[in-house]
Structure 1
């Protein structure tokens, strides 16, 4: 049984590879590594040495399992593939579709989208990128669908994790570097709170802020205003994973101000690279670190105090992180956020749900 991957934001380079450095692009590349020989679904067909892209209407549903990263779209995919199978409605074989939910379940989306997403997750097996996301999906299905659909829904999850061999040895930076830990300047990321804290911290300790933004955010009015600060470096997403991890290796700390996060891969990667993470007292943040993690703030005053200390005494702060992890914080991250667990879990779910 082959795998076909559906991702609405797919960007193919001229050489025929998955381009882009956003979370969705990275996840697509990971799925292609886990399931070699997989096909991508997109409106325009394309063939290259590394990747085949096929329109949905041209797929044979008897030969594949669709992993859909746009979960609300699964009922539509089922309808299209059912027509293409040549079978009467309800007759075997049925299209085999699996939702992959890797973004926060929207709390303020239109009712039609919310109800469609809930129905999709009730009708099709759903794999989530974290326990928090899985809980959101479970609550959504329970609230928006019939009881018998909820009771028969299939849901699994594992922490997304990252490849531990990417981590680079830490390097010294004469001026402490603070990472803006998002590629967006959207309202939910609260960049205004980030800079409110940083304006306070830089009065006590020299620092430099680094921001790597997705293109839409990079050319926004907000980005233009921020770029006028001479202590802020702003640029596009790093061109390669190697340069991304090299940048993390010289970063001292990050300050998270996001309201909602599905899993938080960027935060986990930074923590694994030895960056001191100052994070809000929210469920998503506590799910990433040991229970006694010392740099969880309740308000911006606490955030300012914690970040100031992280820049002044980074090694002492890392020792505190080790103590919170019971010996080695990096080992704790490796145990709880390795992508090996994700790889094994998603393969196991495909086997269990579809007999691959």
Structure 2
């Protein structure tokens, strides 16, 4: 069985490799690794050393299963493939890896719900799967959502990426997002950091996606001499090297589908100060000690993380029953994801 990956925002280099470092690009690379011989759906035919790019209209539905990373488009993909190969039944699987938008137009929400009810859907976490299930029950007919095929597993990451920790004279706090969107609440992040830096020296590092990096909000933030702001790291190696020297991060996001960046940072030994939200509690042990209820509590926790990082990591170990690193490995390894997505593709579409 061969796979065709559909993600319109994928960034492909002149050398024919997936070049971007956003979550979507990383997931395309992972799918290409999991399913050798896959193709990427793109606007024009292109051959490269690693994979071929094929237009949607040239996909043979009898040969390829489409893994669609933009689930709302699956009905359109089905129509295009059906028209191109009359009599063939297109095989399409939704891969939902972002949180379901809560303020989207009704047309978008209803189309997404219908797509997930009509096509097998694989989600990146239990939280996302629950959102999809609720969406289908509210926006589609009962006979559709009762027959829906929905599965999930935590996305996880490759544990062998983790680097030995590096001490820095001035503690580094990571802004744990590549966007400055309203749902990430960067204003809350800096409200806390302004408070913390009054009592402990610190440096903030921000690596932003291009649109956020050139925004007016980014220009204002960059005026702070204790903030370093730059583009996404050029390689995964440099990304993990940066995490190895990071002391802590403060999460202020309102909604998160899975939280891969948070999990990777936690796995790298970064102390995560997390909001008391369902998505955050799903990432860590039940008694994780650094979950805040308000910004004053966040400031107190972050201050302690920067002053006593080793003591804080010992508390994380205790919450995990002895080893926080081992807990992360057991709950967020990409091995489980790789096996689960392969098993679901085989179950839904045959070997």
Structure 2 stretches lacking a partner, 5+ long: none
Structure 1 stretches lacking a partner, 5+ long: 88-92
Q: CA deviation at 1:49?
A: 1.5
1:123 match: 118
Partners of 1:96 and 1:121 in 2: how far apart? 14
1:120 aligned counterpart, secondary structure: helix
Partners of 1:86 and 1:304 in 2: how far apart? 61
Q: CA deviation at 1:28?
A: 0.2
Matched, 1:327 2:322: yes
Partners of 1:289 and 1:48 in 2: how far apart? 40
Which of 135, 138, 142 aligns to 1:140? It is 135
Matched, 1:16 2:16: yes
Partners of 2:10 and 2:169 in 1: how far apart? 39
> Structure 1, residues 38-68: CA drift from partner, whole Å, max 9, x if none?
0100112111121200111111111010000
Q: How does 1:65-80 map to 2 (within 5 A)?
A: 65-80=65-80
1:94 match: 89
1:40 match: 40
2:228 aligned counterpart, secondary structure: strand
2:287 match: 292
Q: How does 1:1-356 map to 2 (within 5 A)?
A: 1-87=1-87, 93-356=88-351
C-alpha RMSD over aligned residues: 0.5
Partners of 2:50 and 2:331 in 1: how far apart? 32
Partners of 2:48 and 2:235 in 1: how far apart? 21
Partners of 1:60 and 1:318 in 2: how far apart? 52
2:8 aligned counterpart, secondary structure: coil
Q: CA deviation at 1:352?
A: 0.2
> Structure 1, residues 292-318: CA drift from partner, whole Å, max 9, x if none?
000000000000000000000000000
Partners of 2:273 and 2:99 in 1: how far apart? 21
Partners of 2:57 and 2:269 in 1: how far apart? 47
Partners of 1:277 and 1:284 in 2: how far apart? 14
Partners of 1:80 and 1:171 in 2: how far apart? 52
Partners of 1:141 and 1:175 in 2: how far apart? 49
> Structure 1, residues 183-222: CA drift from partner, whole Å, max 9, x if none?
0000000000000000000001000000000000000000
Partners of 2:139 and 2:9 in 1: how far apart? 27
Partners of 1:141 and 1:156 in 2: how far apart? 14
> Structure 1, residues 96-125: CA drift from partner, whole Å, max 9, x if none?
000000000011000000000000000000
4+ residue runs over 2 A deviation: none
1:100 aligned counterpart, secondary structure: strand
The normalised TM-score by structure 2 is 0.99
2:241 aligned counterpart, secondary structure: helix
1:53 aligned counterpart, secondary structure: strand
Q: CA deviation at 1:86?
A: 2.4
Residues paired across the two proteins, number: 351
Partners of 2:125 and 2:246 in 1: how far apart? 26
Partners of 1:294 and 1:241 in 2: how far apart? 29
Partners of 2:28 and 2:229 in 1: how far apart? 26
